[in-house]
Every structure is written in C-alpha cells, then in structure tokens.
Structure 1
Amino acid sequence: MIRNRLGRLIRLPIGLRARLVITFTLVAVTASVLVATIGFELAKTALVERAEDTAVDVVSRELDRITFPIGRLRQGEASPTAQNLEQLGQALDGPGRSVVVEYRDLLYADGPLTMDDVPNELYGRAKQNVVTQLRVIRNELWLVVGSEVYRRAGSTAEPTGLRTFVFFPLRDEQSQLAALRGKLTQGGASIVAIALVVALLSARQVLLPVRRLSAAAQALGQGRLDTRLPVHGQDELAELTSRFNDAAAALELSVSELRALEAMSRRFVADVSHELRTPLTAMTAVADVLNDEAERLPEDTAQAVRLVLREIERLRELIEHLIEISRFDAGTATLNLEPVNVSDAVQGCLEVRGWDEDVQVSVPPGLTVNLDPRRFDIIVANLVGNALKHGRAPVLVSARGTENGLEVKVRDHGKGIPPEALPHVFDRFFKAGAGRTRSQGSGLGLSIARANAQLHGGTISVRPQSPGTLFTVWLPRA
C-alpha cells in the first residue's frame, strides 16, 4: 500500500494475475530500455566516429597540401603572411564550419567561433598530433579538430608552430540521433504494449486452471461433493488438479459414510424413544397409583416412591424431548400457522403446567400473530421452565409486537449463567453448573426452543442481567 497526497492509503493490486502481468511488463520494459539504450549508444558512437574520421581526414589532407614556408625558415625563404593563413583557413572551411589558424603572432579566424572557444585541453594536446574533442558551445554540439603542422626534413619531422583548429557542426548527426531516439521510443512502446497483451493472455492461460480449482473448491464448500475437474497435460497444474480430484473423492466417501452413520444414529434415537413410550406409559400409570398410596406408606418407602416418581417424570420429559429432536433431525418438523392471541397462549402455557402463580406476565391483551400454537407453547414452556428450575423468582415474561414481528422476553433473577457457558447454552445436553442448583432437566429444552424458533424463521438470544439471565425470542411476521 502507498499513500496519496491526501495521506490516504491506496491498495496496490496483489492478485496473482496482477503480479504476473506487472512482473512480465517490468521485464519487458527493462529489456526494451536496455536494448534501446545499447542500440542508441552504439549508433551514437558510430556516428561520432564517422564524423571524427571524416573531419580528421579533411584537416589532414589540407594540411598536407601546404606549400608556403613555415617553421624554421631556410635561406631564401620568407615568413608566411596573413594571406597565407587566410588561404589555409579557406581551404579548411566548409558549410557551417569555423576555422582558427594560429602562427606565432598571426591569427586567422573565420566563422562564429574564435580561439576563445578552443578547449585548453585540446589546445595543449594539439602540439603532438591531430586530436579531436566533442564540446557543447552556445547550446550546440561541435566536433573540434586541432592539429599542429610538422615540417619534414628527410626522415625527421619538426614542429612549425602553425596550429589549426576546425569546428565541425554536428547538426546532422544530432538530427539523426533524435530521429533514432524517437524510433527506439516508439519501438519500445510497441514492445511494451505487445508484452502487456502477451502477459494478459499468458496470465489468463496460466490462471484458468487455478480459477477452475477455485470454483470447484467453492462448489465443494457448498455441498456439491461430486465436483471433479478434467486433467489436461502433465505439468504441475495437471498434477494439482489430479490431487484435487482425489481429495474430493475421498471427502465425498467420508461425508457419505458420516451421513449414513448420522442417519443410523437418528433412526436409533427415534426408534428407542418410540419404543420407550409403551413401558413409560405403564410406569406412569403405576406411578400414579403409588402416588396416591404414598401418604399411607412407611416414611422410607414413601421417599423411595417419590424418588421413583421424580425419575419417571424426568424420563418422560427426556423421551418427549428426544422424539421432538428426532423430528428436527429427520427434517419432518413442519409449521401449522394460524392467528394466535399471544396473551392467551402464554397464560394457557403457564396454567397447564401450574406455573401461573410463579410467573409475572406482561403481554398486551389484543396482540395477535400468525404462529404455530403448539411450537410457540414449547418455546415458552422450555424458557420459563428453565428459568424456574435454574433461576430465582421473580420470573418475568413479556411480549410486544414490532415492525418486523413478535418479541418475547423471559427473565429470571438468579445468579445467572457463567460467562464461559453463555456460548453453549443452546447446545444439546449442555448443563451449566456454576451458580445453579443441580439440573433435573434433560439438557435439551433450550436446544428444542431454539429449533422451534428457527423453524418459524426467528432467533433466540441470551444475555446476562444484574441479577439473572434474559432470554429474547424474535419471531417474524408470517
């Protein structure tokens, strides 16, 4: 990420495709710049060398043609005149050139440049040989050729003191280099554009199997376990695709086995629950008879009878809950909606179970909502029963209509549920022990209440209070 002028963070592309394209483009740009730079420098060197060779050849040829006496004059020779220097300068002159000829006290200059424009380094080196130097003078590039004329006497050559400096303009070479620079820039831009297109196509070709793998993985996550991909080629992506297919097949087999075991478990629970109903009915009938006779039995026997009665009641509740849970697990639970007076439904739920004197109810009398009355009764009964068993009076039940549905709240004033137990209160067979009396329930009541709320399309939430615990049921309007 980078920051713009406003200090805001700008996210750079980090996708695999973007990184491939950027890397490919950077390599292409680097290669293009390198090739263009090398090509330009080679062309520049060749042009400059050609200009130097031409200029040195012109100067050397004209100096070899000098006929007037210079240097150490021999008997009968006269010193060169300004006219001689002018003739030499005119011989060296050409289109756009500037010529400076120096001989002792004589100086000839032709053109816009003078001796002041001759570099000191070049002036010193010109005493020994024909030398050249590139120099920018008045914003223009010139090739300066300097040379001292030597006079040969037999096999020896002696300096004469005559020096010439010729300024050759390099306008044509500069124009050629500018044109070459433009061509190289256009070529480099074309190469980068082609590289970008090739990078996009290559990235698409490379990432296509990756996208297919991503789509297949998403399909697996959505439950389509029969998803497989065709294997093409023998490269690393083909090997990865083959391994994905193997993993998908193994996952499908494992899930099928787990589903079969889960179905067998659900059938077992449902069958056992239904089979227990018959002996439980007989036990309940016997228990009712024993309950009637308990007062006339000895104290120890009466306590044993009451214990058996409590356990029979607990067993009956557990079996009913298991049957209800098995319906949800089997997907056979259905809703039978009808207009329900919420106040009457809550009061009826409490009266049937003998809780009407232990619970305070605050529900508007005319509040009517489309609900499944039996399942709404189960929700209220489980929440209120949980509050009475594990909480402390007063237990409050309130309901109100909202824009989106019905909201029912059940609160007790006990010590509350430990914070670490709150995320698990709706789990099956979970019982929170801290701060509560020993649970006599099945551990399924809250789970069944939530399942019935979800069947309506609603939710149940729990929050700690001070003191106590608050359960909130929300059911949408049908």
Structure 2
Amino acid sequence: QGQIAYSWQTVAGIPSLVVGGRAGGTGPEIYLVHDVRPIQQALEQLRLALGVGALVLTLVAVVVARLVARGVLAPVDEASRAAERIERGDLSARVPVTSSDEFGIWADRFNRMADSLEDTILRLEAAQTQNRRFVADVAHELRTPVAALVAEASLMRDHLEAFPAEARRAGELVVHDIGRLRSLVEDLMELSRFDAAGEEVRVAPIDVGRLIRDTAAARHRDAVLELPDDRVVVDTDPRRLERILGNLLDNAREHAPGALVVVRLRATAAEIGIAVLDRGPGVPADRLGRIFERFFMADPSRRGGSGLGLAIAAENATLLGGRLQAHNREGGGLEIELSLPVTQPLPHGDEPAILRDEADGRSTPTSSRDRP
C-alpha cells in the first residue's frame, strides 16, 4: 500500500501545492506540482470584498442608528433647549408637541410645568415690586415726621436731668426708640435707592487697615483686630466699605453680646477679604442661607433690630463688585466675610489717608495730594 502527502512549497519562485507519494511499497515516488496563484488571488479578492462589505454595513448601521436616535431623542433635545432658555430667564420657552405617544404626553406635561413656573415667578415678581414700592412710600412718608421727632428727642435728651426722677427713665426710652426709628427709616430709604438704581459708587484709594481700625473704634471698641503688617490699599468706595463693616460689627454686637469678636483682614493679588467672627450662638443651618434677605430675623423671638442691616451690607457689597458669605464656626459662633476684587494699585508716591470729619463723625478719604 502506498502513501500520499502534500505540502505548500515555493517552486522556482512560484507558490505551489506539492502532492506526492509512493505507489506500493517499492514503487517510484510521484509528485504533482500545482500553481496556487489563481487560488490566492481569488481568496484576496474575496477577503477584500468581505472587508468592504463589512465597512459598508457598519456605516449603514451607524447612519441608521443616528437617524433613529435623533428621532427618538429629538423631544429630549427640544426639552433641554427649552430648559436652558428658562434658566437664562426666557419664561416663554416651551417644547413643541408633535405626537400623541409617550414623548408627546411628556412634552405636554413639561409645558404645563413651565406655565405654572412662569405664573408663579410673575406673581412673585409683582409681589416683590409692590412690596418694594410700599417700602419706598413708607420711608418717604415717615421721613419728615421722623425728622421732627428726632429734633424733639435731641432737645429732650439735653434736658433729661430736669425731668422728675420717675419720668426720666421714660424720657430715656423715648429718646432711644426715636433713634431706632430714625435708623429704620434711613435703612428703608437706602433700600429704596437700591431698588431705584439710584446709588452711585465713588471710588478712591483706601488704606483698608486704617478704615477697619476707625470703624471698629466707633462701632465695637472691644473687637480684636487681626491686620497684616503690610499696608493694604485698594480702590473702592470708602463710605460703602465703612457701611458694610459697620453693619457686620453691629450684627455681631447685637447677636453675640459679651462674646469675643474678631475682625480679620486678608489680602491676595486678586482680592481682599474682611471677616467678622464672633463666638455667639451662630445661626441655625436651615436659616443660614437667608440671613442676607430683607427683614429676615435668624431668631424670630429676639426683640430689637429690623432685619435690614445684613441685607444693606449685601447690597453695598454687590455694588462694589464683591460678595458676602456666612458660615457657622466650629465650636460656636458666626463668620461673615466680605470679599472684594483688587482693582488698580495706588500710584507711586500717593499715600491714602482717612480723615475723620468731626462734624458728623464719619470717615472721609483723601490722599497726600489732597491735603493742604
């Protein structure tokens, strides 16, 4: 019996299939050489055709998938664009309802939600406008009679010693309460100017550390000052900066009586920070985010105060391009920090100064070239 075998070989430089064997046990060996180049060419063509076909099928599948996805996700995309418009303040944005399927039902519900949101916002804006108009009207109506009361209270204060002993305490309370009423009316007037966009910012180079020392001496003498060794000078409105710091110190004195109060100044190349820290009771976490709202009282049971001091401070901070932030301190107490951007540096050789106007007790800025 013979044996047959095959092998892939290159014969004379030609790829070939060699098949051979021996006929019988002692017969001659016979080999057949077959040129396989046509077969290889056919296989290459088949491989190329399969590759191109797979690529075409993949591209067709991708295109079909994108078309299907676009059709399915079109309502979601419309809703996303409508939500972005609403976020930017365009309350009229709606999603077109183009079908009656689940997406159509969803778009209709989105539109109804947007209608309700628009109606609520418009009503709140109308109520806010009415409230601000009422505050402005009340402030203007009270201004004249309160001015008369202040004059009378000043006269009464100068003659309290002439009052009978049993009436002197009542006179002191009247003078004190008229002073509080005057402060309230002044706060309301300031808020009305904010609402009417009637406030102006007058910028001057200010030695912030000196302003802090002067304000603390006038509003909270026991406050501990933590000021950097180097002088910090910024271009800002000194009256508004003093107003902000004064209100923060008043807030600390009223809500943390007898507690340690610290005023801390930090400065970087981009901004300065003025923080007022106290060791009082702090503010409940659920109320902390509202302390800069008008008329908001962190402790409703506490008497005194109008709930306007921090709101006015926040309005002034915004006018100066800054912001107020508050958080409860670890171990108890509250920290409120004013952050202000640093603008133009002080010109060389120009030294700021804060001169106290003894007539009205307020600090007014000047520079070395302004002094006689």
Q: TM-score normalized by structure 1? A: 0.53
CA distance 1:190–1:281, shift in 2 (3 Å):
same
Partner of 1:385: 250
- Deviation at 1:264? 1.6
Choose the corresponding residue for 1:453, options 289, 314, 317.
317
Choose the corresponding residue for 1:328, options 188, 194, 197.
194
Does structure 2 conserve the Cα–Cα contact (< 8 Å) formed by 1:409 and 1:472? yes
Partner of 1:51: none
Does structure 2 conserve the Cα–Cα contact (< 8 Å) formed by 1:390 and 1:439? no
CA distance 1:307–1:260, shift in 2 (3 Å):
same
Quote the Cα distance in structure 1 between the aligned partners of 2:330 and 2:59: 67
Partner of 2:175: 309
CA distance 1:306–1:426, shift in 2 (3 Å):
same
Identity of aligned residues (%): 37
How many residues align structurally? 298
Partner deviation per Cα, 1:164-220 (whole Å, 9 max, x = no partner): xxxxxxxxxxxxxx9xx9999998986665444322212212322321221112211
- Deviation at 1:386? 1.8
Quote the Cα distance in structure 2 between the aligned partners of 1:266 and 1:251: 22
Does structure 2 conserve the Cα–Cα contact (< 8 Å) formed by 1:343 and 1:365? no
Partner deviation per Cα, 1:245-272 (whole Å, 9 max, x = no partner): 4554454344333322221211111111
Does structure 2 conserve the Cα–Cα contact (< 8 Å) formed by 1:416 and 1:465? no
- Deviation at 1:321? 2.0
Partner of 1:370: 235
* 1:275 and 2:141 aligned: yes
Quote the Cα distance in structure 1 between the aligned partners of 2:175 and 2:320: 35
SS of match in other structure, 1:474: strand
Choose the corresponding residue for 2:185, options 319, 335, 340.
319
Does structure 2 conserve the Cα–Cα contact (< 8 Å) formed by 1:416 and 1:464? no
Q: CA RMSD in A?
A: 3.6
Quote the Cα distance in structure 1 between the aligned partners of 2:215 and 2:260: 17
SS of match in other structure, 2:242: helix
Partner of 2:338: 473
| Structure 1 unaligned regions, length at least 5 | 1-108, 113-177
Quote the Cα distance in structure 2 between the aligned partners of 1:357 and 1:271: 36
Does structure 1 conserve the Cα–Cα contact (< 8 Å) formed by 2:220 and 2:249? no
Quote the Cα distance in structure 2 between the aligned partners of 1:467 and 1:233: 58
Choose the corresponding residue for 1:258, options 114, 121, 124.
124
Choose the corresponding residue for 1:338, options 180, 193, 204.
204
Q: Which has the higher contact order (CA 8 A, sep 6+)?
A: 2
SS of match in other structure, 1:397: strand
Q: Which amino acid aligns with 1:206?
A: V
Quote the Cα distance in structure 1 between the aligned partners of 2:267 and 2:56: 70
Q: How does 1:183-198 map to 2 (within 5 A)?
A: 194-198=60-64
CA distance 1:424–1:239, shift in 2 (3 Å):
closer
Q: TM-score normalized by structure 2? A: 0.67
Choose the corresponding residue for 1:443, options 296, 304, 307.
307
- Deviation at 1:244? 4.3
Quote the Cα distance in structure 2 between the aligned partners of 1:248 and 1:441: 39
Does structure 1 conserve the Cα–Cα contact (< 8 Å) formed by 2:282 and 2:332? no
Q: How does 1:345-356 map to 2 (within 5 A)?
A: 345-350=211-216, 354-355=218-219
Partner deviation per Cα, 1:129-163 (whole Å, 9 max, x = no partner): xxxxxxxxxxxxxxxxxxxxxxxxxxxxxxxxxxx
CA distance 1:191–1:347, shift in 2 (3 Å):
closer
- Deviation at 1:242? 5.0
Partner deviation per Cα, 1:354-382 (whole Å, 9 max, x = no partner): 44744444545843211111110111111
Partner deviation per Cα, 1:84-113 (whole Å, 9 max, x = no partner): xxxxxxxxxxxxxxxxxxxxxxxxx9999x
Quote the Cα distance in structure 2 between the aligned partners of 1:234 and 1:394: 66
Quote the Cα distance in structure 1 between the aligned partners of 2:293 and 2:125: 20
The structure number with the bigger radius of gyration is 1
* 1:293 and 2:191 aligned: no
Partner of 1:417: 282
SS of match in other structure, 2:206: strand
Quote the Cα distance in structure 1 between the aligned partners of 2:50 and 2:230: 89
